[in-house]
Structure 1
Amino acid sequence: MFNKGRNILCKTKLNSNLYVKMMSYFKCEIFSEKLILKLKSGNIGPMKKSSTKLSDTEQVTAHIKNLEPSLQKVIEAIRKSILSSDKEIGERIKWNNPSFYYTGEMKEFDPKEFKRELIIMNLFKNRIMLVFPSGAKVNDKSGLLEGDYKDGRRITVFKDIEDFRAKEKQLKKVIKDWLKLIEK
């Protein structure tokens, strides 16, 4: 074990080329064998922050690529359908999941009301849940939106690509109806 100031480097190998750097405040980082020499010598400082931040769309794409492959196809189909519903729908990672929101001009509102938020995806192993934070405002006669939550949200669940394709027209209608209710 090497002690360089507050950093303690363990010689423990995770596999053939990865080591663990233990910090005195219990933070672990995994480094390649090339960096281990710098760590041992103490000639490594904090990592520089990237000067280029990924765009919201790039962040969503990267997030989806890290998910289970069986869900990626369904998520991409849902994503494409939502974004093609209207040019003023944007995407980003919010609450650690892909979310979709209205990008156009709106009247002022309390941010706690989430009036800009259209859909937040909640991802599970065997299903994808879409949460509509203000879904109660939409008069959904198709039965796509489920639940009767006090905060006004509604949900819909897709089990697989076939389930999504069967409900895609209703989803687009709900999105169009929601967009009509926006106070501009």
Structure 2
Amino acid sequence: MASRSQPTDVAAFLADLAHPQDAAIRRLREVILAADARIGEGIKWNAPSFHVEGRHFATMQLRRADRLLLVLHLGAGKKAMPDGAIADPDGLLTWLGPDRATCSFSGVQDVDAHAAALQSLLRQWMAHA
């Protein structure tokens, strides 16, 4: 079982980050880490990234000032999510391909409003990552 790796690295990254969505980024990080005790974190692609048992499955995208994106992926090797593997009753996912999807948040309130649904999605996604 992998332990949470180097949370201070992510904390230091966020402390130095000047981003209009700072509060949403911090809240989204909390929601993700609370989804499963096995989730570790680090910095990948110049943003917080999350993994379980060494396999990365989610990375924040911090390019936009008005929105925060969470990219769900199946790691470096191309593979497809099995049909019907992810139940998304709240319609949070925008599929970019068979191996990637995003969730978009407009701010802290949006993250909070969808926290439970997001955690359910993350648990499902991790089972396939």
The bucket for the TM-score relative to the shorter chain is: 0.7 to 0.9
Highest relative contact order (Cα 8 Å, sep 6+), 1 or 2? 2
Moved over 6 A (4+): none
Equivalence for 2:52: 102
**Structure (1 or 2) with the larger CA radius of gyration:** 1
**Matches of 1:179 and 1:69, distance apart in 2:** 28
What is the total number of aligned residue pairs between the two structures?
Answer: 116
**Structure 1: runs of 5 or more not aligned:** 1-54, 105-115
1:120 aligns with 2:67: no
**Matches of 2:101 and 2:27, distance apart in 1:** 21
1:79 aligns with 2:29: yes
From 68, 89, 95, the counterpart of 1:147? 95
**Matches of 1:180 and 1:133, distance apart in 2:** 12
Work out whether residues 121 and 130 of structure 1, in 8 Å CA contact, stay in contact via their aligned partners in 2: yes
RMSD: 2.1
Work out whether residues 128 and 158 of structure 1, in 8 Å CA contact, stay in contact via their aligned partners in 2: yes
**Matches of 2:33 and 2:107, distance apart in 1:** 19
Give TM-score, length-normalised by structure 1: 0.57
Equivalence for 1:58: 8
Give a deviation string over 1:44-103, Cα, whole Å, max 9, x none: xxxxxxxxxxx7311111111122354221111111111111111000001111100003
Shift of 1:175: 1.2
Work out whether residues 49 and 60 of structure 2, in 8 Å CA contact, stay in contact via their aligned partners in 1: yes
**What is the DSSP-based 3-state SS (H/G/I as helix, E as strand, rest coil) of the residue aligned with 2:86?**
coil
Give a deviation string over 1:135-155, Cα, whole Å, max 9, x none: 8454133211112415x1000
**What is the DSSP-based 3-state SS (H/G/I as helix, E as strand, rest coil) of the residue aligned with 1:83?**
helix
Equivalence for 1:130: 70
Work out whether residues 65 and 72 of structure 1, in 8 Å CA contact, stay in contact via their aligned partners in 2: no
**Matches of 1:164 and 1:136, distance apart in 2:** 24
Shift of 1:177: 1.3
Indicate the percent of aligned positions where both proteins have the same amino acid.
Answer: 30
Q: Cα 1:83–1:128, aligned 2, differ >3 Å: closer, same or farther?
A: same
From 109, 119, 125, the counterpart of 1:172? 119
